[in-house]
Structures are given as structure tokens and as C-alpha cells.
Amino acid sequence: MSDHFDTNVRHYDSQFVDPVDLTTRSSSPIAERWGSDEVLHDGFAPVPIFFLKSYSLLKPYPLTTGEAMFALQIMSFRRTNYGRPFPSYKTLANRMGVSEKMARRYAKQLDDKGYISRIPRTSKTNEFDVSGLLRVLARAAKQQLLKIHPKPVDCEDKEEVTNGHQQTKPQ
């Protein structure tokens, strides 16, 4: 029996077999969510759902889809809270499927918006400071949470809210 492969399925005579057996238990919950351990071979980058839901609504400047993808690519190179990522424009462009010129344009747009700063290094790739984007995201997330969960009444006040009724604290 000869195996014939195409990009999506294996053909065994006339039987089609999915190349990824989704019934096999993966080694991690993330691999299970993505269908196989193999897709995590190069690692993974955690992405807050808040970012995915709000990048196009950020204030004062919303991100385009291309800028958001560029930011995610930069974040995938960020290894610690303190280190600045320094991927080359060529690497970023290859990962995104765009030209180096377009990658540079995304970096400039994000720099102009104050979200990512490019820090030149002599004879090396630029470092990218993402603290502007992180500050804007944190502020937006806090504002969103305050809309959902208003601040509780300060119990040190003279009046206290109990079971939906206002009561005066004894002096």
C-alpha cells in the first residue's frame, strides 16, 4: 500500500484520514485547544482576550489590524518584563507575510501613536519599547472593569450601604 500525501489529508486507497487525530489527548490544555502538540513546537505567546477585543477601539488612537499583528509579533519576542525585544524587520516581515518596508511602516505608525518606541542600536537591530502600548491597554482594561464592577462604597464613610439600604454608622 503506497502513501500519497497532499497538504490536507492522507489517502489510503479510497479512505481519507485526517492528519491530526483530535481524539488523542494532547500534553497540555493549550495544545488541546489548538488541536495538537505539533502546533506548539515553536512555542506560544499568550495574548489577552481584552487586546483581541479592543485593539481597534483604543484611545486616543485605535490600531489597525496590521498594527495589532505587528504588536503581537513584537510581543512574541518579549521574554521578560524588563527586556526589550529586538527582532529584525526582516524577521517580522517574514512572519507577517509583508515586505520589510511595510514592517517598518507599521513600526513608524505605532511609534507615531506613542505605543511602541524604536530604540536604535549601533550595528544591531532596533530594540522595541512597548511600554506605551502596555500603559494604554492597562488603562483601557481598568476603565472597562470599572464599568462592569463599580468601586465599592468606602466602609470608613459615616454612611454604609447594607443590603441595598443606606444606614448611618453609630458614632
Place of cell 482594561: 141
Q: Which three cell numbers stand for residue 108?
A: 513608524
12 beta partners: 15
Pick the most confident of 6-15, 30-39, 121-130: 121-130
Helix (H, G, I), strand (E, B) or coil at 62: coil
Residue 16 phi, psi dihedral angles, 5° rounding: -100, 135
Tell me which H or E stretch contains 4. strand 4-5
> DSSP 3-state assignment of 11?
strand
Residue 25, amino acid: R
Q: Which residue has the higher pLDDT, 158 or 52?
A: 52
- Cell digits of residue 151: 468601586
Q: For each of the domains in the chain, give its residue range(s) and CATH number, in order of start.
A: 4-40 (no CATH), 49-148 (1.10.10.10)
- HSE-up of residue 98 (Cα within 13 Å, Cβ side): 17
Q: Is the pLDDT of residue 54 over 80?
A: yes
Q: Predicted confidence band at 5 (pLDDT cuts at 50, 70, 90)?
A: very low
**Judging by beta carbons within 10 Å of its beta carbon (0-12, 13-18, 19+), is residue 114 exposed, middle or buried?**
middle
Looking at residues 132-153, what average pLDDT do you find?
83
Residue 157: pLDDT above 50?
A: no
The rounded distance, in Å, linking the Cα atoms of 165 and 171 is 18
pLDDT in tens, 161-171: 444 455 555 55
In percent, the amount of the chain with pLDDT more than 90 equals: 36
**Average pLDDT value for residue range 19-33:** 68
Report the alpha-carbon distance of residue 80 to residue 128 in Å, rounded: 13
Higher pLDDT residue, 90 or 78? 90
